[in-house]
């Protein structure tokens, strides 16, 4: 590869597109460091494929064919290794190189761009080519006005971007592309998703039991939980319920600290904190941050925190500062030198003002305020001030040092693989999740108690409307109606628990992303914990309806009635859990769940008799997959078999048997017994729970793949292409490159000899 042309394109130096250029932003900047041989390049970027230009930290101008092929081998072997790591679903068995506990986690990111779609069909950058690093034992503060991209940068570094975003640039962990999800890092997000019914101690202790390994005793886990709660200054609120929309519990700041407690329990090697001090007073902010940073220094942990309006004391705790404005890098470097940088850019911090306040005030363009610039006292708009700062930073020594540091880290720590911490075993996880979920269901009035009261009222109503149904010919129809109502409508009411399912799913989503436990343990825990409640609400209200109506009065028939009702409720609940995993919005979920049940009920064989249901679609398959069919028929068989009714038909026999009614009136499938109906329903429960498990697993596996695919297809469109050049007799690829020497951007044509 050799340089053919070298043409300066960006007058202002760095390639920072203005928002006006948003439709055709160049998101592929590279670095040129002519002093580094191509063979020395740390090719740890698995994404440097044909559809993206080279994005290794440095690129030599005259590399040979031999070195190119060697590079591609390197890429293959190293990216292959990363694939291996990922394919073991986050569990890393192989560990080469230095011990991660001694080395810690280094994160570097270079030229990271994140874009989102615009209404006009183009793409808008929301992070503009950011470069930076964090080292073990250090804490990085991401600061900037609201909406500048702090949370987005955290999400990007943690690998949690949404699918509508496209990201380019290198994010390397210890110099390699590695997946962070599931247990290698902890992330305290801005929105607290905590179980509102638990006390602080319960929430943290349950989490400790889930996250800490089985080798630790319960007493040790309890001690760890208590110690962490004290560290976060929550000892006085230990026995206070967290609370939510219905019950007032902890304040916002206290909830935040509970979230932090849960995530720092295991002393994660890498900790992301999104505005950990929001809602805290300055003293609490200081103590919380001080504790986190001390822990990081002590155990060589890596901490990245976005921070909003820190006090002077808190600000000084951070080692490095990443200052953003509208996704653009204003400053990345030592916190202590930020004031100096602002002063050298013409925005000195006035005496007696907190530097962090000064930075935020200078770079906030949401309000039309003029900023003093230079010593002459001239004023500039905030937008202009930001442009000046961005420009100054791009050509500053601080940036050059940051870039060199990134390169140095990538060079030094290429072999270390990020390991997952050991945690509680599957059985312990199932036990703890079942217990926790059982307590939550008991304390959350909306989960089952409210439904229980409504069921009682409904069953008393059923009992009085159909009271002492008797054995007349007319009671045949009444029996059919009451049983259909019980099987259809009582079970339908499980949609009432949907908001609680959605809350559970949110908590599961957060804990799962942080790797607290497995999907199977969650499915087992939620199934076992709900069974006793469903049993309770099928037996008590069921008995009221059963005996008031006067259905068959012997124990076996009553037991079957309760079991079938229980199976139907379990089934509807499983269906609603499935819906909650696909449609996490509670209103949309209720509508979807009700719609599905409505269609199933309609085709269950009561409202339209089985032989009359239109065959395409409604009978095959809807009638056969509708659980109402098996529920209705089970109830009918249980009630009608063994009974005889007077026949009112002229010329017919004097009585009509239950079996004849089932066959001729209700058109029930008589080839199998009522117990088979029960078994089919229980089988469907298992199937639904397995589908629920599969949906969660599939979305976990597919989401990153879809995001990666969308990201690559989006970047392809913006890519600089490789084209054959007749003049030179070779392929020429045009790339944008950033030179470390003069901090300027170039468009470079690279010629390939083959």
Ligand X SMILES: Nc1ncnc2c1ncn2[C@@H]1O[C@H](COP(=O)(O)OP(=O)(O)O)[C@@H](O)[C@H]1O
Q: Output 116 or 445, the one with its CB closest to ligand X.
A: 116
Q: Output 67 or 151, the one with its CB closest to ligand X.
A: 151
Mark the segment that binds ligand X (CB under 6 A) among 147-155, 434-442, 471-479, 613-621.
147-155
For 515: left if phi > 0, alpha if psi spans -120 to 50, otherwise beta; the answer is: left
107-117: strand order across its sheet: 123-134, 107-117, 166-173
Selection from Mg ion, ligand X, none that 9 binds (CB < 5 to 8 A by kind) is none
Residue 322: its H or E element: strand 320-325
Alpha carbon distance 512, 521 (integer Å): 11
For the bound state, the minimum distance from the C-beta of residue 150 to ligand X, rounded and expressed in Å, comes to 4
Q: What angle do CA 206, 210, 211 make, to 5 degrees?
A: 115
Mark the segment that binds ligand X (CB under 6 A) among 150-158, 201-209, 432-440, 553-561.
150-158
# chain residues binding ligand X, by CB under 6 A: 13
Which x/- pattern, by CB under 6 A, does the window 163-202 give for ligand X?
-xx-------------------------------------
For the bound state, the minimum distance from the C-beta of residue 150 to Mg ion, rounded and expressed in Å, comes to 5
Alpha carbon distance 206, 448 (integer Å): 22
Residue 602: its H or E element: helix 586-602
Residue 543: its H or E element: helix 519-549
Q: Output 57 or 149, the one with its CB closest to ligand X.
A: 149
Q: Output 150 or 301, the one with its CB closest to Mg ion.
A: 150
Residue 372 has a CB neighbour count (10 Å cut-off) of 16
Q: Is 146 in the site for ligand X (CB under 6 A)?
A: yes
Question: 320 with 140: CB under 8 angstroms?
Answer: yes
Burial class of residue 615 (count of CB atoms within 10 Å of its CB; 0-12, 13-18, 19+): exposed
Mark the segment that binds ligand X (CB under 6 A) among 149-157, 447-455, 586-594, 670-678.
149-157
Selection from Mg ion, ligand X, none that 334 binds (CB < 5 to 8 A by kind) is none
Tokens of 494: 């499980």
Q: Output 266 or 309, the one with its CB closest to ligand X.
A: 309
Mark the segment that binds ligand X (CB under 6 A) among 73-81, 145-153, 521-529, 542-550.
145-153
Q: Is 657 in the site for Mg ion (CB under 5 A)?
A: no
Lookup result for tokens 């600089």: 720
Those residues with Cβ within 8 angstroms of residue 650's Cβ, 6 or more apart along the chain or in another chain: none
Q: Output 202 or 718, the one with its CB closest to ligand X.
A: 718
Q: Output 20 or 554, the one with its CB closest to ligand X.
A: 20
Q: What angle do CA 130, 413, 76 make, to 5 degrees?
A: 85
Q: Output 36 or 307, the one with its CB closest to Mg ion.
A: 307
Selection from Mg ion, ligand X, none that 149 binds (CB < 5 to 8 A by kind) is ligand X
Residues 176-235 that bind Mg ion (CB under 5 A): none
Residues 7-26 that bind ligand X (CB under 6 A): none
For the bound state, the minimum distance from the C-beta of residue 301 to ligand X, rounded and expressed in Å, comes to 23
Selection from Mg ion, ligand X, none that 235 binds (CB < 5 to 8 A by kind) is none
Q: Kind of pairing, strands 139-143 and 302-306?
A: parallel
Burial class of residue 143 (count of CB atoms within 10 Å of its CB; 0-12, 13-18, 19+): buried
Selection from ligand X, Mg ion, none that 685 binds (CB < 5 to 8 A by kind) is none
Q: Output 51 or 151, the one with its CB closest to Mg ion.
A: 151
Q: Is 162 in the site for ligand X (CB under 6 A)?
A: yes
Selection from ligand X, Mg ion, none that 613 binds (CB < 5 to 8 A by kind) is none
Phi, psi dihedrals of residue 109, rounded to the nearest 5°: -140, 135
Can you state the percent helix, strand and coil of the chain, rounding each to 5? 50, 15, 35
Question: 368 with 386: CB under 8 angstroms?
Answer: no
- Selected from 46, 152, 360, 656, the binder of ligand X by CB under 6 A is 152
Q: Is 34 in the site for ligand X (CB under 6 A)?
A: no
Which x/- pattern, by CB under 5 A, does the window 120-159 give for Mg ion?
-------------------------------x--------
For the bound state, the minimum distance from the C-beta of residue 573 to ligand X, rounded and expressed in Å, comes to 32
Those residues with Cβ within 8 angstroms of residue 41's Cβ, 6 or more apart along the chain or in another chain: 56, 57, 58, 59, 60, 71
Selection from ligand X, Mg ion, none that 378 binds (CB < 5 to 8 A by kind) is none
Selection from Mg ion, ligand X, none that 695 binds (CB < 5 to 8 A by kind) is none
Alpha carbon distance 224, 512 (integer Å): 21
- Selected from 28, 60, 81, 150, the binder of ligand X by CB under 6 A is 150
Selection from Mg ion, ligand X, none that 515 binds (CB < 5 to 8 A by kind) is none
Those residues with Cβ within 8 angstroms of residue 440's Cβ, 6 or more apart along the chain or in another chain: 195, 197, 198, 447, 504
Separate counts of helices (H) and strands (E) for the chain: 24, 20
Selection from ligand X, Mg ion, none that 116 binds (CB < 5 to 8 A by kind) is ligand X
For the bound state, the minimum distance from the C-beta of residue 623 to ligand X, rounded and expressed in Å, comes to 42
Selection from ligand X, Mg ion, none that 8 binds (CB < 5 to 8 A by kind) is none
Question: 439 with 198: CB under 8 angstroms?
Answer: yes
Exposure of 33 in the CB half-sphere (CA atoms within 13 A)? 18
Q: Is 118 in the site for ligand X (CB under 6 A)?
A: no
- DSSP annotation of 149: S
Q: Is 147 in the site for ligand X (CB under 6 A)?
A: yes
Residue of closest CB approach to Mg ion: 151
# chain residues binding Mg ion, by CB under 5 A: 1
For the bound state, the minimum distance from the C-beta of residue 516 to ligand X, rounded and expressed in Å, comes to 24
**The CA-based dihedral angle spanning residues 547, 553, 557, 560, taken in that order and rounded to the nearest 10 degrees:** 20
Selection from Mg ion, ligand X, none that 394 binds (CB < 5 to 8 A by kind) is none
Q: Is 148 in the site for ligand X (CB under 6 A)?
A: yes
Selection from ligand X, Mg ion, none that 353 binds (CB < 5 to 8 A by kind) is none
Selection from Mg ion, ligand X, none that 518 binds (CB < 5 to 8 A by kind) is none
Q: Output 146 or 721, the one with its CB closest to ligand X.
A: 146
Q: Output 151 or 657, the one with its CB closest to Mg ion.
A: 151
Lookup result for tokens 């006090």: 311
Alpha carbon distance 9, 412 (integer Å): 33
Tokens of 73: 């081998």
CA distances in angstroms from 493 to 568, 597, 636, listed in the order given: 11, 10, 21
Among residues 39, 184, 103, 274, the alpha carbon closest in space to that of 513 is found at: 184
Q: Is 122 in the site for ligand X (CB under 6 A)?
A: no
Binding stretches for ligand X (CB under 6 A): 116, 126, 144, 146-152, 162, 164-165
| Binding interface with Mg ion (CB under 5 A) | 151
């Amino acid at each position: 590869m050799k340089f053919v042309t070298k043409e300066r394109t960006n007058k202002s130096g760095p390639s920072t597109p203005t928002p006006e250029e948003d439709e055709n932003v160049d998101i592929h900047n590279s670095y040129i460091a002519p002093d580094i041989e191509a063979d020395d390049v740390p090719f740890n970027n698995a994404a440097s494929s044909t559809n993206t230009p080279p994005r290794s930290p440095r690129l030599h101008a005259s590399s040979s064919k031999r070195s190119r092929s060697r590079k591609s081998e390197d890429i293959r072997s190293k990216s292959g290794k990363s694939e291996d790591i990922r394919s073991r679903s986050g569990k890393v068995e192989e560990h080469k190189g230095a011990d991660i506990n001694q080395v810690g986690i280094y994160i570097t990111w270079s030229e990271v761009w994140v874009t989102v779609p615009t209404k006009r069909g183009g793409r808008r950058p929301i992070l503009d080519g950011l470069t930076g690093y964090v080292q073990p034992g250090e804490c990085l503060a991401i600061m900037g006005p609201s909406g500048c991209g702090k949370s987005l940068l955290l999400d990007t570094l943690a690998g949690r971007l949404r699918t509508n975003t496209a990201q380019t640039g290198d994010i390397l962990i210890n110099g390699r592309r590695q997946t962070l999800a599931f247990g290698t890092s902890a992330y305290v997000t801005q929105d607290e998703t905590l179980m509102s019914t638990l006390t602080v101690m319960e929430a943290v202790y349950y989490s400790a039991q889930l996250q800490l390994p089985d080798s630790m005793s319960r007493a040790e886990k309890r001690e760890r939980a208590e110690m962490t709660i004290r560290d976060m200054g929550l000892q006085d609120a230990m026995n206070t319920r967290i609370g939510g929309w219905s019950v007032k519990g902890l304040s916002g700041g206290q909830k935040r600290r509970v979230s932090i407690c849960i995530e720092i329990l295991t002393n994660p090697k890498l900790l992301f904190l999104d505005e950990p001090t929001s809602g805290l007073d300055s003293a609490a902010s200081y103590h919380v941050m001080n504790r986190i940073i001390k822990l990081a220094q002590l155990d060589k942990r890596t901490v990245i925190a976005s921070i909003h309006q820190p006090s002077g004391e808190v600000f000084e705790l951070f080692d490095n500062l990443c200052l953003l404005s509208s996704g653009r890098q204003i400053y990345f470097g030592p916190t202590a030198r930020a004031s100096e940088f602002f002063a050298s850019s013409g925005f000195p911090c006035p005496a007696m003002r907190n530097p962090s306040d000064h930075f935020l005030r200078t770079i906030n363009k949401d309000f039309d305020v003029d900023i003093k610039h230079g010593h002459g006292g001239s004023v500039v708009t905030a937008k202009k001030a930001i442009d000046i700062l961005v420009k100054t930073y791009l050509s500053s020594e601080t940036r050059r040092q940051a870039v060199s540091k990134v390169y140095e880290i990538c060079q030094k720590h290429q072999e270390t693989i990020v390991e997952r911490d050991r945690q509680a075993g599957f059985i312990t996880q199932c036990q703890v999740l079942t217990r926790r979920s059982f307590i939550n269901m008991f304390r959350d009035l909306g989960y089952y108690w409210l439904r229980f009261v409504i069921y009682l009222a409904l069953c008393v109503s059923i009992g009085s409307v159909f009271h002492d149904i008797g054995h007349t010919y007319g009671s045949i129809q009444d029996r059919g109606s009451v049983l259909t109502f019980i099987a259809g409508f009582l079970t339908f009411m499980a949609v009432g628990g949907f908001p609680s399912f959605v809350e559970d799913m949110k908590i599961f989503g957060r804990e799962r992303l942080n790797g607290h436990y497995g999907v199977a343990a969650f499915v087992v825990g939620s199934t076992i914990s709900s069974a006793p409640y469903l049993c309770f609400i099928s037996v008590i209200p069921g008995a009221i309806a059963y005996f008031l109506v006067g259905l068959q009065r012997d124990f076996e028939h009553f037991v079957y009635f309760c079991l079938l009702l229980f199976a139907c409720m379990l089934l509807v609940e499983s269906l609603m859990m499935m819906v909650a995993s696909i449609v996490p919005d509670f209103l949309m979920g209720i509508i979807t769940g009700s719609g599905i049940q409505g269609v199933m009920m309609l085709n269950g064989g009561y409202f339209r008799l089985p032989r009359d249901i239109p065959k395409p679609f409604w009978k095959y398959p809807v009638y056969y997959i509708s659980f109402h069919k098996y529920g209705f028929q089970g109830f009918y068989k249980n009630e009608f078999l063994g009974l005889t009714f007077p026949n009112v038909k002229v010329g017919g026999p004097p009585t009509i048997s239950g079996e004849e009614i089932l066959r001729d009136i209700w058109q029930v499938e008589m080839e199998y017994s009522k117990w088979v109906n029960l078994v089919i329903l229980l089988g469907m429960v298992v199937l639904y729970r397995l589908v629920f498990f599969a949906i969660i697993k599939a979305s976990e596996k597919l989401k990153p793949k879809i995001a990666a695919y969308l990201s690559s297809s989006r970047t392809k469109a913006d890519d600089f292409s490789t084209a054959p050049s007749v003049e030179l007799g070779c392929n020429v690829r045009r790339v944008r490159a950033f030179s470390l020497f003069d901090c300027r951007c170039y468009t470079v044509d690279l010629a390939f000899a083959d």
